[in-house]
Structure 1
Amino acid sequence: MSSITLPARCDRAAAEALLPELIAALGSGPLRIDARECQQIGQAMLQLLVSARQTGEGAIIEPSTALREVAALSALTDELFAGAGA
């Protein structure tokens, strides 16, 4: 299983920088995204994470408290974490 670790600040620039790595990783089986250090999460990163969950074999996201809070505020909890054991 491939793994990607997200930075503490997950803004648009971080999402753009992460996109090529994410595309490559999603093509090689299940993906684990370590987001436990995320403190700031922007809309672009949320969109990227939802896309990662819905693409190929999907992704399992290990969220930080901040990511869980933003997901709840954005009504994306199920899209990001349902069935992932996170």
Structure 2
Amino acid sequence: MTSITLPARCDRAAAEALLPEMIAALGSGALQIDARECQQIGQAMLQLLVSARQTGEGAVILPSRALEDVAALTGLTDELFSGVLS
């Protein structure tokens, strides 16, 4: 399983920087995304995370409390974490 760690500030620039790495991971099994250090999450990163969950063999996202809160506010909790959080 390929693992990618997200930065504390997950804005559009971070999403653009991580996109090539995520694309390169396609075809190598499920992706693990370590988002436990995320403190600021923007729309572009949310879109990238949803896409990662829906593409190829999917992704497992290990969220920070901030990411969980943003997911709840945007209605994306199931989309991002279904089958992951206890």
Contact (CA 8 Å) 1:26, 1:52: kept in 2 or not? no
Aligned to 1:84: 84
Q: Which runs of 4+ in 1 moved over 6 A?
A: none
Give me the CA root mean square deviation. Answer: 1.0
SS at match of 1:32: strand
In structure 2, the residue matched to 1:67 is: 67
Using the TM superposition, give the Cα deviation of residue 27 of structure 1 relative to its aligned residue in structure 2, in angstroms.
2.3
Q: What is the CA–CA distance in structure 1 between the aligned matches of 2:49 and 2:26, rounded to whole Å? A: 12
Gaps of 5+ in 2: none
Amino acid at match of 1:51: S
Aligned length: 86
Superposed counterparts of 1:1-80, under 5 Å: 1-80=1-80
Distance 1:2 1:20 in 2: 13
Equivalent AA in structure 1 for residue 68 of structure 2 = R
User: CA contact under 8 A between 1:26 and 1:58: conserved in structure 2?
Assistant: no
Output one character per residue of 1:25-61: Cα deviation in whole Å (capped at 9) or x when no partner.
Answer: 1321111000000000000000000000000100000
Q: Distance in 1 between matches of 2:19 and 2:25?
A: 10
